[in-house]
Chains A and B, each alone.
Chain A
Amino acid sequence: MKIEELRVGDELLYSGEFLIMRDAAQKRLKQMVEERKELPVSLDGAIIFYAGPAKPTKDSFGAIGPTTSSRMDSFLEMLFMKGVLATVGKGKRSKQAVSLCKEYGRVYFLAPSGAAAALAGRISDMTTLAFEDLGTEAIFKVHVKDFPLYVAIDSLGNDVFINE
């Protein structure tokens, strides 16, 4: 997958790795960056999935799906500066987030929201990388297979959400 070749409206099935993190973990990472501490995970080349998994069952990874990305717009530049290639979430983002995608040449994907049971079957091998005390808000690494994505902001700064 070449990030710079993707365009708004493209739909794809992605197989590979995601780092899962959301509000609380990113707030902590930002604080560590400000205090010039070493981060507990490398974000270089990562695709960040904004999500908080539910509980696994004996047959399944457990329900998972995207949470609202715009809540984490204020952390986006930090992620890009640390080498994050793309983010995955739901809903439209701020103009500032769109500008950052253009400036850094990165993309923002939508994952289907409210499809958690179906997505559970496309995820495997979850490991907790950091901040285990945050429960569902910790940082996890997962493998995904044929995971449905939709390009909402491309690296040219095109944005699918026109209802500004």
Chain B
Amino acid sequence: MISAERIIRSLEEAISKANTEMDPKIVELLDLYDGPFSGVLRENAAVAKESGLPICQDTGFLEFFVFQGNEVALEEPIIETLNSAVKKVYTDSPFRYSIVSDPLFNRENTGDNTPVICHLFPMRGDKLEIRFLVKGGGSENLSRLFMLNPSATVDELVRTVVESLRESAARGCPPLKVGIGIGGSSDKAMVLAKLALTRSFEERHQNKDYAALEERILREINGLKIGYQGLGTGITAYSVHIETYPTHIATMPVGLATDCYIARKGRVIFED
């Protein structure tokens, strides 16, 4: 059995780190950026790491992807453990509470940044893998779902994604990390797009056609020249990640999700 306490301890560290320490690859690229606000952005990376203040005031909502082996026993439903971990980290740290209890009528802040969002992926085996995104609201609002015709060409798919980002990328704190879910149903495509964002920058799709498509879409997005802070200097996107799933003969769902320039994420793995 994997105890709730053990999971909470690991997650606490990983979530704090995601909010205060930039990925080394991002720091490396930021050092190459010379444009509006480049000085204060570099200063920010250093101050956050040193002071424990978050890199961004929007410390997001927590979206978890839980891969649970059938031999793994847990003390309590995993979502309760995830909520406890987030509540602990956010109330103990100088992080913002950004969650409201009701989306429409009573947008009252819940005061501890919970509840979290949790996607479950049942697996075989004795491992429990938990990936997460710390997802800010600005980049989240760039999310889109396109129900393309099943006969859509690769070019149409690329154009759909690139045109959407041409309109929206400047609002999402670029350079962006781009996740694309192709296939499944409407909801599955969106979850796949989010899951794609949990991959590391270098991780290409295992199928060479999709890997090449990731490269092509990245080139086209960078061709938009939206740049850091949306002001036209430097790269527009770091990487594109595609996840796929079988789909219905009448459909081709395409989900689009983006992460802002700090692309906060984490991953912890346990064995039972």
Contacts and interface: CB of A to CB of B under 8 A. Distances in A.
B170 A135 contact: no
Most A C-beta atoms less than 10 A away, residue of B20, B55, B229, B260: B229
A148 B37 contact: yes
Size bracket of the A interface: 35 or more
B141 A68 contact: yes
A84 interface: no
A117 B230 contact: no
Nearest to A162: B232
Interface in A52-68: 52-57, 59-60, 62-65, 67-68
Given A54-B96, A60-B51, A150-B231, A116 B109 contact: no
Contacts of A115: 37, 40-41, 43-44, 56
A160 B230 CA distance: 9
B59 to A, nearest CB: 6
Given A67-B138, A114-B261, A54 B230 contact: no
Q: Which of A68, A134, A137 has the most CB of B within 10 A?
A: A68
Interface in B55-90: 55-59
Interface string A105-138: 0000010111111111100000000000011110
Contact of A53 (B44, B96, B141): B96
B230 A55 contact: no
- For chain B, the bracket of interface size reads 35 or more
A24 interface: yes
B44 A92 contact: no
A24 B98 CA distance: 12
Contact of A91 (B97, B107, B230): B230
Contacts of A162: 232
Nearest to A120: B53
Given A63-B57, A64-B57, A68-B171, A161 B36 contact: no
Nearest to A146: B40
Contacts of A55: 93-96
A11 interface: yes
B177 to A, nearest CB: 13
Contact of B170 (A112, A114, A150, A163): A163
Given A113-B173, A114-B260, A118-B40, A54 B109 contact: no
28 contacts: A24-B107, A52-B57, A53-B57, A54-B54, A54-B95, A54-B96, A59-B51, A60-B53, A63-B56, A63-B57, A63-B96, A90-B229, A90-B230, A91-B138, A91-B172, A92-B171, A114-B41, A115-B56, A116-B48, A116-B53, A116-B56, A118-B40, A118-B47, A134-B109, A136-B98, A150-B36, A150-B229, A161-B170
Interface of B: 20, 36-37, 40-41, 43-44, 47-48, 51-59, 93-98, 107, 109, 111, 137-138, 141, 166-167, 170-173, 224, 226, 229-232, 260-262
